[in-house]
Amino acid sequence: MSGAMIKIMITGYSSLDSALRSLLLEANAYVIKPVDDDELLKVVAEALSTRQNTNSSDH
């Protein structure tokens, strides 16, 4: 993951092109609308955990 920025791609129209684009942009997650609140909270928590673990291993 580049830097400390968390990137979550949320789309109303999933396609192979948008999924590949999110990978190229190093998105932490790819979420398709309509988004369930619990699912979004889980995705954000996992991204924050990954960022924290990455930052901890850098020091």
Query: Looking at the predicted structure, is the pLDDT value of residue 1 above 50?
Result: no
- Chain centroid to Cα 20, Å, comes to 13
Nearest to 8 by CA among 22, 37, 29: 29
Summarize pLDDT for 31-57 with one digit per residue, the tens: 999 999 999 999 999 999 988 887 777
Summarize pLDDT for 14-38 with one digit per residue, the tens: 999 999 999 999 999 999 999 999 9
Structure tokens at 7: 């990137």
Other C-beta atoms closer than 10 Å to the C-beta of 6 total 16
* Structural domain boundaries in the chain: 8-58
